[in-house]
Amino acid sequence: MNPVSQDYRKFLNPSIISKLNSLELRARLVVEGFMVGLHKSPYHGFSVEFTQHRPYMQGDGLKDIDWKVYGKTEKFFIKQYEEETNLKSYILLDISNSMNFAYEKNVKKIEYASTLVAAFSYLMIKQQDAVGLAVYSDKIVKYFPPKMSKAYLHEILKNLSLIKPSEKTNTAECLNSIAEKIKRRGLVIIISDFFDDVNAILKALKHFRYKKHEVIVFQILDPVERNFSFGKDAIFKDMETAEEMTTQPYQIQKSYRDAMNEFIGKIKSECLNANIEYNLIETSSPFDKALFSYIQKRSKLY
């Protein structure tokens, strides 16, 4: 029996997967664990292979029904042709220095995000979709236009494994530059903590919608960044400006939480208003939460 099938949940656990040195192995185990989980879960009607099908509609020929899928779901699906199903996906990864944060033994945000990028890329190639990657901080550090081959996947993962966080950030300018680079309509996935000028970021996110792209946002945060539960006197250092402040966390915890909730709420509400899918992901969250969000979005596009 496949060891992933025996205990698939552990391959979705960030603290376990992050111990593996190979990003390609991380991606494969996460995706395989995710696929096993889909078959064991109540996510009826969703599976990786279903992304190449659409629901049966009145007027469709019976000869086009995929009876194997019917046997699994008891629902009628039409097998789509390759030109209907291939999608160009663009993954945008923030590598500014704030993404290098992790509290104590937590997984660093950049490690979590890189594993997520690798898993998305692996899954997309498996689905015969084209995947591209843009890595940015205060400028675009790397850009790989979308292609669809296993060799290209190896190239993306190799470069991704070598990436080091940058000290500076300019999210909005980078997102706007990438939006202008992308000429063909596709799916844009943005992975960041969004610790920058929030109004400028939101305007840049809407730039992709103006260009008719479908957009999914993943805001990656360490759990402590949300609740500020440090519990003792501490020196806080800005990872991008190196400014320091000594304080007792409990004295400012409520104000911090209120400000953080306002920050998160603004991004979420503005994304929803612009028809951008928003996901808040903590670095302690199993990877299937983000992957399922992608699969849901992918299944609606064709």
**Number of domains into which the chain is organized:** 2
- How does the average pLDDT of the chain come out, rounded? 85
pLDDT of residue 44: 40
Start-to-end C-alpha separation, the chain = 34
Indicate whether 20 belongs to any domain.
no
In this structure, of 68-82, 187-201, 259-273, the range with the lowest mean pLDDT score is 68-82
Same domain, 52 and 166: no
pLDDT of residue 3: 56
What value does the mean pLDDT take over residues 92-109?
93
Same domain, 142 and 72: no
Tens digit of pLDDT for each residue in 6-26? 687 899 999 999 999 999 999
Whether residue 155 has pLDDT greater than 70? yes
pLDDT band at 84 (very low <50, low <70, confident <90, very high): very low
Indicate whether 17 belongs to any domain.
no
- Host domain of residue 50: 44-82
Same domain, 71 and 115: no
Which residue has 């400014």 as its token pair? 243
Whether residue 40 has pLDDT greater than 90? no
C-beta of residue 293 within 8 angstroms of C-beta of residue 278: no
For residue 199, the domain's CATH number is 3.40.50.410
C-beta of residue 51 within 8 angstroms of C-beta of residue 26: no
Same domain, 280 and 262: yes
Same domain, 162 and 287: yes
What number of helices (H) and strands (E) belong to the chain?
A: 12, 10
End-of-domain residue from the set 63, 82, 101: 82
Same domain, 51 and 129: no
pLDDT of residue 174: 97
